[in-house]
Every structure is written in structure tokens, then in C-alpha cells.
Amino acid sequence: MSKVKVAACSGIGKVFGLLARESALEAVKLIGVDKAEMVCLAHVVTGEEESIDKTKGKKFITVDGCPTLCAAKSVAASGGVVCEQYRAVDEIRKYRGAKPGNASELTQGGWEICDAFAKEIADKILEVSEEE
């Protein structure tokens, strides 16, 4: 069974990117490295051969900070199969009035959102991994 790949766009200068990255990392930790693997989006975007080899035809979950969907678009353009795409901006909307933090630090409330988001992503990783 091949590992489900996870790619996250960290965004620039906003809490959404931090939440996307931390949630993706936590989801992989929850599932375990035997079933899931983080892929460096920067290497995919720059076309690094090793990362492209890890991308082509592989199943991916992408986690983006904002509606631009850099992770989802970059993985798809590199030949990856995007099974599910998430946006941190959508996740934060579920918590109206929450103060999750800033671009460099999550608050306690932000970490609580992160944990819930990571669980949602982890559940999807399991679902995708069982489809093989």
C-alpha cells in the first residue's frame, strides 16, 4: 500500500497559512508515517525531480490556507491525484468570532481549531488509504 501524500501551502503573512501547515503536520502524526507522508510543496513547485517522482500518479490530500489553492493546483499540475482539498479559511469560518492567532503564532483557540481540523484531515487520509 502506498502512502497518501499530504501537501500544505503555508501562505504568507496570515494565520490561515499557519493553520493549514500545522493541521496537515498534525494529521500525518495522528495517522502515522506508515500511512501518510508530507511532501514539500516548494520542491513540487520548483520541479525538483525527486519530488515530482513522489507526486506523479500518487494520491494527495492538499491543505491550503486561502482560496488561491496553491497546493491543490501545484500538485495537480505536477501529475498528482488530488483526492481531497481543504482550505483553512473555510475551517476558521466554522468558529465565528474566534481569535486563532497571527501568521507566526496560534493562540490556545487556534490550537483547538488546528486539532479539530487535523482530525478531519486524518479521517480523510484513512478513507483514501483504504480505497486502494
Output the tens digit of pLDDT for each of the chain's 132 residues. Answer: 689 999 999 777 889 999 999 999 999 999 999 999 999 898 888 887 887 887 999 999 999 998 889 999 999 999 999 999 999 999 999 999 999 999 999 999 999 999 999 999 999 999 999 886
Q: Supply the pLDDT for residue 132.
A: 63
Q: Supply the pLDDT for residue 59.
A: 96
Is 0.85 topped by the overall pTM? Answer: yes
Confirm if 55 and 78 have CB atoms less than 8 A apart.
yes
Total tally of structural domains belonging to the chain: 1
Q: Supply the pLDDT for residue 60.
A: 97
Structural domain that includes position 76: 4-130
Q: Supply the pLDDT for residue 1.
A: 66
Q: Supply the pLDDT for residue 12.
A: 78
The CATH number given to whatever domain includes residue 124 is: 3.40.50
